[in-house]
Amino acid sequence: MRFQFAPMFSLAVAAAILALAPSAGMAATKTAKECNAEYAANKPAIQGSGEKKADFIAACRAGTEVIPTGVAPATTAAPTKKAAPASTATTGNVKTAKACDAEYAANKDAIKGSGETKKDFVAACRAGTEVIPPAQNTTTTVTPAKPAPTTTTAPTTTTTRTKNAPAPATTATPTGANQFATEGQAKARCPAGTVVWVNLKSKIFHFAGSRNYGNTKKGAYTCESDATASGFRAAENEKQPQ
């Protein structure tokens, strides 16, 4: 009787253990919803440890999940900001091409005076680095006109002729120094002297009042002293007027 009871007791104990084993396993098993909630609550720490969500959920369902502590999650670090593009950083200082054109027009003389071209100025203006040179004195010095040669600006004078002197039949043709086209020009050279007409072909000069005065084919007006110095001689039948 005692020997029969022992096996029966052992069987009862084993049955109790088997009955309790499923209950313990069921108590440790979590639902997928619970594991997802647990993952969400500890997401930064889990991601910081390098464990994937799928692996954590599987361990959680099996009751073997481990919540890491003291690990700084990768996602908690502030993301490195990308450097702002150059154009964005300087947007506040950039001027439009129209504004730079207007600025160039307002300071055109000073900019051109400094030797800077419009293209370079506008480029610097768009970049906000333009420099406006100080205004320069742009007054243009007027070069005085050269006096016209004497031969081209003959003064207009009234020729006083003797009543008996014939009007010149030909135009005077000065060919040498101190020879003039008009009697007045010659008179201006020697106001106190005597003006004569030189025949350039015969080398003879005539006094006012003679028929040849101002009336030879080729001749000019000159002072008597200049005519004599140039080798001209007075006509034999003429006398110097008083």
pLDDT in tens, 39-62: 999 999 898 888 999 999 999 988
Residues comprising the chain, all counted: 242
Query: pLDDT value at position 175?
Result: 82
Both tokens of residue 116? 């800077």
Q: Which residue has the higher pLDDT, 187 or 157?
A: 187
Residue 75 pLDDT exceeds 50: no
Residue type, 110: A
Mean pLDDT of the chain: 76
**What per-residue confidence (pLDDT) applies to 68?**
83
Termini Cα distance of the chain: 201
Q: What pLDDT band is residue 87 in, cutting at 50, 70 and 90?
A: very low
CB 226 within 8 A of CB 178: yes
Contacts (Cβ under 8 Å, ≥6 apart) of 113: 133, 136, 138
Residue ranges of E strands in the chain: 195-199, 204-207, 219-223, 233-234
Between CA 195 and CA 185 the distance in angstroms is: 10
Q: Taking a C-beta distance cutoff of 8 angstroms, is the pair 190, 223 a contact?
A: yes
| pLDDT of 149 | 62
Domain edges within the chain: 17-75, 88-127, 158-242
38: part of which helix (H) or strand (E)? helix 32-41
pLDDT of residue 141: 61
Residue whose C-alpha is closest to residue 121's, from 135, 92, 138, 101: 101
**Confidence class for position 151, pLDDT limits 50, 70, 90:** low
pLDDT for 178 equals: 87
pLDDT tens for each residue of 170-220:
578 888 888 999 999 999 999 999 999 999 999 999 999 899 999 888 899
- Nearest C-alpha neighbor of 218 from the set 174, 182, 185: 174
pLDDT at residue 81 tops 70: no
Considering the entire predicted model, what is its pTM?
Answer: 0.32
Q: What is the pLDDT of residue 95?
A: 86
Higher pLDDT, 78 or 104: 104
- Is pLDDT larger for residue 137 or for residue 84? 137
Query: Which helix or strand (DSSP H or E) is residue 12 part of?
Result: helix 2-28
The pLDDT-based confidence of 152 (bands split at 50, 70, 90) is low
- pLDDT tens figures, 113-139: 888 999 998 999 988 888 888 866 555
Higher-confidence position of 164 and 129: 129
Place 142 in a pLDDT band, splitting at 50, 70 and 90: low
